[in-house]
Amino acid sequence: MEGVFNNKKFILVFVFMLGLCIGITTVHGQGTRVGFYSRTCPRAESIVRSTVRSHVNSDPTLAAKILRMHFHDCFVQGCDGSILVSGPATEKTAFANLGLRGYEIIDDAKTQLEAACPGVVSCADILALAARDSVVLFLNINWQVPTGRRDGRVSQASDVSNLPAPSDSVDVQKQKFAAKGLNTQDLVTLVGGHTIGTTQCQFFSNRLFNFNGTAAADPAIDPSFVSNLQALCPQNTGAAANRVALDTGSQFKFDSSYFSNLRNRRGILQSDQALWSDPSTKSFVQRYLGLRGFLGLTFNVEFGKSMVKMSNIGVKTGTDGEIRKICSAFN
């Protein structure tokens, strides 16, 4: 009887573990999995990583740009590399995407991968891996990226209208993130990626001189900080393209100082600063800051988790889509 019991116990444990494995596969989304290229292209991830490192070491600003590109790709048509396609009226040409940079990193990695493993690694996966690697250069942690995405065959500028905008309220931001299967914590966490990178004056100068027709600055900005921003973005001088760090004092360091700036009313974008004023998002900002009375969350760790969730939005796998030969054009 003891042997029978042990066999049954083994079977139950096996079934339980099998269920966990199935659950993990589902969480990674519609067929993507960690190590997808382990047999078909074993060097895939190392090639992307070394390519990203080479480019970012030469120009550190590219890290934030690749991260932003991945975000813009996933929120339109899903994470399918459609943002990479060149041509008239493609996503790349939409106003919200005109400031994207770093396409050469993806193209460089694709060229190397096509030489090593022709027709195997998708551009969508290269972008997802590059986004992770660009952040890891600034961190002492890492996270695994499930792969197996295929490239989409559609890229239309008209589909870009649903991207989060610099003036969106928290309610609007929550609606846009929820539509992609992301919750409020994911929203605060992913927007926290603004801890690196810059933005142009044109996306927030409305807050500096005549906010909502008041002939004054946005009262949500620390008054002592307003003059600094006005000097960086002077009125009526063609300064719209001037760039300002989204995380004042910590532009090239991936840390929680971005959230400290929100608390100190030094958020650059109106949509960013709103995360501090709305109770539903403020609680997560406070947790990342480890403020008294709130359960602490480790931003770097949670960022990796939310990135994995985001990177599986609307992915194409199996026989859907294609594996592009070059990332800027459909086959």
Query: Which residue in 55, 70, 72, 194 is the catalytic one?
Result: 72
Looking at the structure, do residues 125 and 205 belong to the same domain, yes or no? no
Element (H, E) at 212: none
* Residue 227 belongs to some domain of the structure: yes
| Residue 72 among the catalytic residues | yes
Q: Does 128 lie in the same domain as 54?
A: yes
Task: Judge if 103 and 198 occupy the same domain.
Answer: no
Domain that residue 211 falls in: 170-309
Question: What is the number of alpha carbons within 13 Å of residue 84 lying toward its C-beta?
Answer: 32
The CATH number of whichever domain residue 66 belongs to comes to 1.10.520.10
Q: Is residue 1 a part of any domain in this protein?
A: no
Same domain, 135 and 179: no
State yes or no: pLDDT of 107 exceeds 70.
yes
Residue that is written with structure tokens 């590399």 in the block: 81
Domain match, 174 and 300 both: yes
Q: Is 222 exposed, middle or buried (0-12, 13-18, 19+ CB in 10 A)?
A: middle
The pLDDT tens digits for 40-94 are: 999 999 999 999 999 999 999 999 999 999 999 999 999 999 999 999 999 999 9
Which whole number is the average pLDDT over 26-42?
81
One-character DSSP codes across 50-61: HHHHHHHHH-TT
Task: Tell me, yes or no, whether 32 lies in a domain.
Answer: no
Q: Which residues pair with 316 in a beta bridge?
A: 150
Report yes or no on 329 lying in a domain: no
Residues 234 and 139 in one domain: no
Tell whether the torsion through CA atoms of 315, 319, 325 and 330 is positive or negative.
negative
d(CA 234, CA 146): 45
| Residues 256 and 293 occupy one common structural domain | yes
* DSSP designation for 298: -
Q: Give yes or no: residues 290 and 245 share one domain.
A: yes
Contact 32, 147 (CB under 8 A): yes
Region 105-126: mean pLDDT is 98
Residue 12 has pLDDT above 80, yes or no: no
Beta-bridged to residue 33, according to DSSP, are 147
CA angle 242, 244, 250 (to 5 degrees): 155
* 154 and 222 belong to one structural domain: no
pTM score of the predicted model: 0.88
Total number of domains constituting the chain: 2
Which pLDDT score is estimated for 282?
A: 97
- Residue showing tokens 């004056």: 201
- Residue 224 neighbours by CB distance under 10 Å: 10
Q: What is the domain-level CATH number for residue 266?
A: 1.10.420.10
Q: Which of 137, 163, 189 represents a domain boundary (last residue)? A: 163
If asked whether residues 134 and 90 sit together in one domain, one would say yes
Position 327 in a domain: no
